[in-house]
Amino acid sequence: MRGDGTSTDISPRDIVILKVRVAHPTASTRELSDILEAEYGITLSHNRINEILREMSSEGVFRETILPDQELFSYYLFRIAFNYPNFEEHWESCYWDLIDDPHVLMFFNADSHYHWQVVAQFRRNEQMERWIHEFFKTHGDLISQFHNTMLHNVHKFKTDAEVFDDLLRETPEGEAYLEAERELTEADD
């Protein structure tokens, strides 16, 4: 399920595979195979699990991203409001510059006065300040307002595997996988 409410063609079994991969990011596909069988009753070879993960990745179901340790960088939230008379002429070059910028960790639209929001990472404050200066020199005609916030202590920086339970609850097959997991958990207690 995408954020816009439209369905993707991902089966409950594949959601479970993705959930287990997120819960065990460094596990081999052989280990994933064992976990899937023990916790969910899903019996697949490690080769098949590898194929399914590759297919989901190539279909854009998930992205594999390397996240450096939070101590290496400082993180900032940039919020951008548009100068609409110049929007049509300038939005696209700004958009692609943000997409291609190595400091941009996440770039998204938001329902607020600040339609574009960017999470960026820099090694030092001076780099961030220089970046903003160059950004305004290049894209100032597009910008009506710009707000930046340093994200001082990033307390959580990951996706938890349990978020996939929401998707699994949408189908009877997915509910069956969750029930198998619950039964195993209760048996272990």
Q: Is the pLDDT of residue 3 over 60?
A: no
What pLDDT digit, counting tens, does each position of 101-149 carry? 999 999 999 988 999 999 999 999 999 999 999 999 999 999 999 999 9
Q: Are 135 and 127 in contact (CB under 8 A)?
A: no
Burial class (CB in 10 A: 0-12, 13-18, 19+), 81: middle
pLDDT band at 1, cuts 50/70/90? very low
CA 120, chain centre distance (Å)? 14
Q: Structure tokens of 45?
A: 């070879």
- More confident of the two residues 69 and 179: 179
What pLDDT digit, counting tens, does each position of 33-61 carry? 999 999 999 999 999 999 999 999 899 88
Q: Structure tokens of 77?
A: 């939230």
State pTM to two decimals.
0.68
pLDDT at 95: 97
Cα first-last separation, the chain? 33
| Helices assigned H by DSSP within 10-140 | 12-23, 29-40, 46-58, 87-100, 125-139
pLDDT at 62: 83
pLDDT band at 8, cuts 50/70/90? low
pLDDT at 122: 93
pLDDT at 112: 86
